[in-house]
Chains A and B, each alone.
Chain A
Amino acid sequence: MTKTKLRFRIGVDVGGTFTDLVLSDSQTGRLVFFKEPSTPSDPSEAVEKGILGLLDRAGLQPADVDLIVHGTTIGLNAIIQRRGAPLALVVSKGNRDIFEIGRGKVPDAFDLRSTKEDSLVPRELVFELPARTLYDGTIEERPAPEDYDRLVAALKASGVSAVAVTFLNSYLHPELEAEVAQTIRERLPGVLVTASAAIWPEIREFERALVASLNAYINPLMGAYFDRLEERLAGNGITAQLLLTTNNGGTLGLDTVRARPIETVLSGPSAGVVSSARLAELAETKNIITFDMGGTSSDMAVSVGGKPELATYTTVGDFPLMLPVVNVSAIGAGGGSIIWVDGQGVLKVGPVSAGAQPGPICYRRGGTEPTVTDCYLVTGMLAEDGFLGGRMKLDRESAQKALDALAEKIGLTGPDRACLLAEAALQIATAKMATELLKTCAKRGLNPREFTLIAYGGAGPTHANFLAEEIGLSAVLVPPSPGTLCAFGALMTDFKRDYVRTIRRRVDGADGEVARLIPDLAESLRVQAAEWLEQESDIAGEIVTSWTADLRYAGEGHELTVELEGAAIEPGGMETIRESYHAKHMAIYGFQELESEIDVISLRSQVVGKMPEIVLPVVAPRGAGKPPTETRRVFSRGAWIEAAVVARGDLFAGDVVHGPALVTQEDTTTWILSGWKGTMDSSGIITVTRS
């Protein structure tokens, strides 16, 4: 019975430096955290060790675990570092240079010596096949047996272990593509074959071929990883079901992911945003901007009305990715960003980062250039022994020396020159983050001052107050375990899959072609989704399907994704679709064209199978007294001040910490500026607001 109740669930996030783990006990609300150094050569090793360590800390046995939800950047890293499988691509005749030509752009318009990305598939491994479906579904040309023989022989000779197949117009008519993919599978056992429309049947052959090729590229590697992981778990007597978090902020079963590993590449940040939105709701906040500051960069994402914003298009490594993802964008410096002075004597922060290796000077891993983290340390925002609960000693002296040298370079003098420089560098980092955040809002027509910042990642809570003050935000939320939010977030995800059908027709009258087509397509998507959920798991509860359509005024080249009411996809829903589009256009662009015809480009659905919710710990109210408080000197606004230092574990619901103050915990330090205060609530969230 415990199994179906899913009492003990483990969330895992494999990062570059650490593998984070969280265990949730749904009966008591207890949460147990564990951090294990990652093992890049075989990431499953750290997952195994981490789970055992976590169980040990929790006092549980392997057999007690009911569910493991796993986020991983293995696929992403393989794409960025180009460590995927040797890969071939099969295309229609005349389309061999699909990757060479791409969409016609070079990455940098300001660089005379710009190069394009190395193609995922070198030209000699792109094979044209006489296989052509026309726009209307007519199969004009079909490969003959000898064409197959030639192709199979060439694929065999090339030694590839994965093949992607993309034919023109397969987004509407996938049959020929599926047929060829199946034939290759049969004739080349052991080679993993991805057909583009089976992964994502959306119009635009270049982007669709990339989705298929990236999927094929990481398919062997991720399959092998899952094999090893399953073996290790089984070896330890862990029989829990394994789920993987996905780009859209959801989760999928292992069998689905084995065929569609591309769905996991951006899963980590997505889970962080989804759980932020959920946590923010506990603090009765619906409009948030996430601020995730890690070692190499800071990321932000927007949630309006509790819903994380999705994008239908993003980039992964060198490539565009045409899949629905939680819309996360980089906004600037991370803790490892390097501080330097240019030839004209101007102070700079980043874009180069010391990353995890060699890292900031104070990490004692060989870093020689001062970083943002070194600035936190010399100004006293971080303590020498305050990192990882004191397990890692920071080297203040070396950080100070390096910052002294830099300070002298721009003419700063006196005993506090390093601190003056550090503060200036932090101001520059803040200004850059603020401008990027403001631009992101300007693109969407949002006023950031109507949003609350939610800070996580190792440095997020340390820097968030600077950012809030710079932009003029009224509040910052700091969740309970900001440094492991992605692992924790994995436990808050639901089963989730996106579907798309390309339509590209004019919205017509009540009994027109499109009016009949849309309900038919919707029905076929419903059937497909039901089949998937049926196979996926027996633990999904309530099923929620939401519908959107990509719409545009006739003649425009750019479409808007519009949420649709259920009525819109029923027969006779055309008027509803029209009204929804006019309204959305008005909201985003400030005008509408009521006389214009509307084209429907795509119909999309997102199917969610609700996961039984985890129970969160409740922080008790303080009976009497105050949290034990020490003080530390912090260099702030040009002078040394005394800041209160409080351990987060000592805070009870309703406790208020007045800035200047530092709230310390194992995985981060929260900095509260003077003039601001932090309030602990019963869900363990600290809300930082102006005093």
Chain B
Amino acid sequence: MKTSPMMLEILNNKLTSITEEAGFTIKRLAHSLFIREMSDFGTALANHEGHFFAYPSAIGVSNFVDLDCGPTIRAVPDLEPGDVIVTNHPYASQGLSTHTPDINLVVPYFYEGRLVCYGWSFLHISDMGGKVPGSISPTSTEIFQEGVLIPPMKLMRRGEFDPNVLAFMTSNTRSPDPNLGDLKAMLTAHRFAEQRVGEVIAQHGLDAFLQCQEDFIDYSADRTREIMRRIPDGRYEFWDYLDDDLVTTLPVRMRLAIEVEDGLLTLDYTGTDPQSGAAFNVPTAGKRHAFLTAGLMMLVTTLDPAIPKNHGILRDVKVKIPEGTVLNPVWPAATGVRHAAGLRARDVINGALLKAMPDVMPACSAGVIIPVVFAEPASAEREGNVMVLELMMGGLGAANELDGVDGRGGSLANMLNNPLETVEDSASVVVRDFTLVPDSGGAGKWRGGCGISFTFEVLRDGCTVLGRGMERMRFRPWGARGGLPGHRARTILNLGTQGEQEFGKIDVVSLNKGDTLTIVTPGGGGFGDPFERDVEAVRRDVVRGLVSRASAEADYGVSLTEDSAVDAAATARLRGVSRSAPAEFAWGEEREAWETVFDDEAVNAFVEKLSAYPAIERAVKRREVLMRLFPELADRQTAFAKILSPERRDEFVAAVETL
């Protein structure tokens, strides 16, 4: 590093601050509710290659550090002062934008006529056209249904809007005025940031400014390498599933092998299922991408909270992602709800890293963010209304020496749930229950966090609830190192009445006056053998009502007396029984049943065979094979154990061979 130890600290503070100030400016001026309420936007400074050397830690989306502006910059040569590049094209920008509503701007910053760095910002705009308002629907089958595509091009030339580009953008949206307001908010932020960059250069010199871009990245890379060297060299494999992609009932598998050598990591996603015919695909262009490495960055920031967040953290990570998979789809696959696949991709990297760093990584968390979308018809008192009634998180996974958090989310976004009082004020419902679910956290030496149950009663006829973000209704959040999996998600109509009815994943449910709907989020997985859990901790969980007496005995081997004291003799008896050695992971019954047929070897072969077909045909072919062999898979409510068994594996293998 050429920058002095003092200047590095000073400049890093100042330049990070500029990205944050730009972020606050966007948040203050933007029109879109996605920005004002959910902070779905980002800012950063990029070097000449398009990599971020300064990134905010306190505003906007926290984990887009590993995005790459390079392809966008290279697509638009001959940049002059005042020029602004715009794109929302997931394929043309090679994953800088990951779905069409994310408008990205890349702006060359000049100082005394010389290009000194690039400013980047993105913002989730209200609407980019396409088949539904807001442009995103899980059922979109091609990206053309998700709105207008803007490959990297100049939005402004020498400080003036290109009228053609602007006219084209505003003509293809349902919300031209707010969109324009959002663009202006971003442009204001860039003007401000460019000016502040100029002030820093004036104070500290151009050489220092150019040099520090390189040194920040080296600095973070060095600190990261120190952490990664704690991972023993080797190959760590893991896979996990999405329940389905909503348009079909078939699970989607993501498979990862992390190879580690002297602190250098290669992520190999070979064996991941073909790209989805629905909008669940993550457009990575087959390169390392923020949606894949977010979990890795979390590991680094967990072990080194003060590390400057920049390209250096991920720089030395290599990836291999076969084309035509759900994590590297080819045009024109839809990508609107890539977020759901992103959540699962994070569980996959989490699981592989857990094998590598078992003392640090937690068991699987709930892995869902469920917005309960409620619609009621217009009435004399109220307008017709569609709203997010509640935003539900589940339990977090337990880790070594750490119980999982009950009922709160670590998540990709930075959102709050709704107070019940505003829920009742805004919609014709009464909330009956919003509590933790006892026993839902996976048992373990360290207990997984409990999920949440939300029950509301509808006060009017003709209301509907849309299923969004519902996942882990089949595949439970796994436990690790002897810990048990967390409970799965559920949806139940009229719980506790004669008409009680459980759904699987719901698309739309109609509700009439007096009906109740209960939505239950998953618990986190447990960590370590529950029979080794501190007896007092088990007793406390029982007293607090988070673990039942029955589970205390069966899962933890702890017996309590009537007045909630530990019955030492009975506990010793329970814990003294010899048991089989705990498994490295506990998956739950659905995954176990699924893998009686679809084990790793068989599925790898299947994926390999499918890869011979053109990318857009693979999902169709896959579905054809599976539904021909197992037509019962069409029903979401039938347990896999009733459909699948080890005897049927041979049929599947044979079918794959004939492909």
Q: Show the binding face of A for B, using Cβ within 8 Å.
A: 93-97, 100-106, 108-116, 122-124, 134-135, 140, 168-169, 171, 203-207, 341, 343-349, 410-411, 424, 427-428, 431-432, 434-436, 438-439, 442-443, 445, 504, 555-558, 588-591
Bound form: Cα–Cα A618–B372 in Å? 65
Bound form: Cα–Cα A230–B514 in Å? 58
Cβ contact within 8 Å between B417 and A104:
yes
Interface-lining segment among B104-112, B315-323, B420-428, B606-614 = B420-428
Q: Which residues of A contact B181 (CB under 8 A)?
A: 591
Bound form: Cα–Cα A348–B305 in Å? 14
24 example contacts (A-B, Cβ-Cβ < 8 A) are as follows A96-B435, A97-B452, A101-B436, A103-B417, A104-B407, A109-B62, A110-B57, A111-B301, A112-B360, A112-B362, A113-B302, A135-B424, A203-B425, A343-B223, A346-B9, A347-B9, A431-B13, A431-B14, A435-B16, A439-B20, A504-B425, A557-B33, A558-B36, A558-B37
Question: Given A106-B409, A124-B544, A589-B29, A442 and B360 touching (CB < 8 A)?
Answer: no
Bound form: Cα–Cα A102–B407 in Å? 9
Q: Show the binding face of B for A, using Cβ within 8 Å.
A: 1, 5-6, 8-10, 13-14, 16-17, 20-21, 24-25, 27-29, 31, 33, 36-37, 57-58, 62, 181, 219, 222-223, 226, 298-299, 301-302, 305, 360-362, 391-393, 396, 399, 402, 405-411, 414-417, 419-422, 424-425, 430-436, 452, 455, 543-546
* 10 cross-chain pairs, A with B, having the tightest CB-CB distances, nearest first: A435-B17, A104-B417, A424-B6, A110-B301, A94-B433, A442-B21, A123-B544, A442-B24, A112-B302, A204-B419
Select one of B37, B222, B405, B421 contacting A114, CB under 8 A.
B405
* A30 → B minimal CB distance (Å): 45
Cβ contact within 8 Å between B407 and A101:
yes
Q: Which residues of A contact B392 (CB under 8 A)?
A: 104
Bound form: Cα–Cα A16–B464 in Å? 56
Chain A contact residues: helix, strand, loop or mixed: loop
* A54 → B minimal CB distance (Å): 43
* B375 → A minimal CB distance (Å): 15
Cβ contact within 8 Å between A105 and B24:
no
* B233 → A minimal CB distance (Å): 22
Cβ contact within 8 Å between A439 and B21:
yes
Q: Which residues of B contact A349 (CB under 8 A)?
A: 9
Bound form: Cα–Cα A192–B455 in Å? 33
Cβ contact within 8 Å between B28 and A588:
yes
Select one of A110, A410, A504 contacting B305, CB under 8 A.
A110
Q: CB-nearest residue of chain B relative to A135?
A: B424
Q: Which residues of A contact B9 (CB under 8 A)?
A: 346-349, 428, 431
* B595 → A minimal CB distance (Å): 27
Bound form: Cα–Cα A349–B9 in Å? 9
Cβ contact within 8 Å between A122 and B544:
yes
Q: Which residue, of B361, B406, B420, has the highest number of chain A Cβ atoms within 10 A?
A: B420
Q: Which residues of B contact A112 (CB under 8 A)?
A: 298-299, 302, 360-362, 399, 410
Cβ contact within 8 Å between A168 and B219:
no
* A668 → B minimal CB distance (Å): 26
Bound form: Cα–Cα A504–B222 in Å? 53
Cβ contact within 8 Å between A124 and B6:
no
Cβ contact within 8 Å between A347 and B5:
yes
Cβ contact within 8 Å between A115 and B393:
no
Q: Which residues of B contact A431 (CB under 8 A)?
A: 9-10, 13-14
Bound form: Cα–Cα A438–B434 in Å? 41
Known contacts A104-B408, A112-B299; 17 further A-B pairs (Cβ under 8 A): A95-B420, A97-B436, A104-B392, A105-B408, A106-B410, A108-B305, A135-B430, A169-B421, A346-B9, A428-B6, A435-B13, A435-B16, A439-B21, A442-B20, A504-B425, A555-B33, A589-B28
Bound form: Cα–Cα A168–B397 in Å? 31
Q: CB-nearest residue of chain A relative to B192?
A: A442
Q: CB-nearest residue of chain A relative to B31?
A: A591
Select one of B8, B402, B411, B415 contacting A115, CB under 8 A.
B402
Select one of B25, B302, B419 contacting A205, CB under 8 A.
B419
Question: Given A97-B435, A346-B9, A104 and B393 touching (CB < 8 A)?
Answer: yes
Bound form: Cα–Cα A410–B8 in Å? 12
Q: Which residues of A contact B435 (CB under 8 A)?
A: 94-97, 101
Bound form: Cα–Cα A169–B424 in Å? 9
Q: Which residues of B contact A116 (CB under 8 A)?
A: 405-406, 408
Q: Which residues of B contact A345 (CB under 8 A)?
A: 5
Cβ contact within 8 Å between B5 and A124:
no
Bound form: Cα–Cα A491–B223 in Å? 52
Cβ contact within 8 Å between B543 and A557:
no
Bound form: Cα–Cα A469–B368 in Å? 49
Bound form: Cα–Cα A171–B419 in Å? 13
